[in-house]
Amino acid sequence: MREIVLDTETTGLSPKDGHRIVEIGGVELFNHIPTGKTYHQYINPERDMPPEAFNVHGLSEEFLRKHPVFAKIAEEFIEFVGDGILVIHNAKFDMSFINAELSYVKHPPIPEEQALDTLEIARKKHPMGPNSLDALCRRYGVDNSGRTKHGALLDSELLADVYIELIGGRQHDLAIEQGASTTMSGGQRPVATRRQPRPVPLPSRLSEEEQKAHEMFVSGLGDNALWQRYRD
C-alpha cells in the first residue's frame, strides 16, 4: 500500500480569500515504511506575504519570487502523488488549497476520499487532546527539536513518524508480518503472533498536566474505587 504523508504552507487560512500555497512537502511510505522518496517544492504565490503567515513559516515574498509558480510544477506534483493515499494532519485545510491550485490550472481535483486525516485519528484515540503535531510528537517521543518554524517537508517527516505510532507503531506492522507467515491448512486466515514484551519499558508519554488531571479525577472517585488499588 502506497501512502504520501503530505503538508503544505500557505499565505493564509483559506483559498476563498485569495490565499495560495507557498510550499509542499511529501514523504512516500510503502506498507507504512518510508521508501526514502520525498517531494519538496517552494512555490511563488504571485501575491504578497501577510505578516501572520510569515511568522508561522518564515517564507518571504522576496524569497518565494525566485521559485516557480504552481502551474509549472503541477504535473510533477500530481505524478508524485499518483493514486497514493494522502496522509495529512487536518486534511480539509490542505486539500482545499491543493484542489484550489489544481482548479486554477484546469486540472481535475484530487478526490477527498483519497485523503486520510491524522487529526481525526488522533482525536478518536486521544479525545482529551491536545492533538497538534507538536503535542503528538511529545506524546510519542518523536524528536521535533528542529521545528522552530513550520516547514512542509520537515512537518511531513515528523507526521510520518507520528502516523505510524497512531496506527499502532512499528510493532504492529511486525506482528502482522509474522502472523501472515503463519498460515493454517485449508486456506484459513493467518494466526497473529503474540508480541513479546519490550526489554526496557518505554518512558511515560503523559505530560505533567495530564498526570495531575488524572490524579484529581481518581481522588474524586472515593476510597472504594477500583483505581485506588493501583495508586502509589
* In contact, 188 and 58? CB cutoff 8 Å: no
Q: Which stretch of DSSP H or E encloses residue 37?
A: strand 33-42
Closest C-alpha among 56, 114, 58 to residue 84? 114
Q: Which three cell numbers stand for residue 117?
A: 486525516
Distance CA 59, CA 56 (A): 9
User: Is 150 known to be catalytic?
Assistant: yes
Q: In what order do the strands lie in the sheet with 33-42?
A: 33-42, 21-30, 2-10, 85-88, 115-117
Cα dist from 125 to 119, 153, 168, whole Å: 10, 25, 11
Catalytic residue, chosen from 57, 150, 172, 214, is 150
The answer for residues whose C-beta is within 8 angstroms of residue 175's C-beta and 6 or more apart is 192, 193, 195
Helix axes 70-81, 91-104, angle to 10 degrees: 120
- Look at residue 30 and give its three-state secondary structure: strand
Which of the residues are catalytic? 150
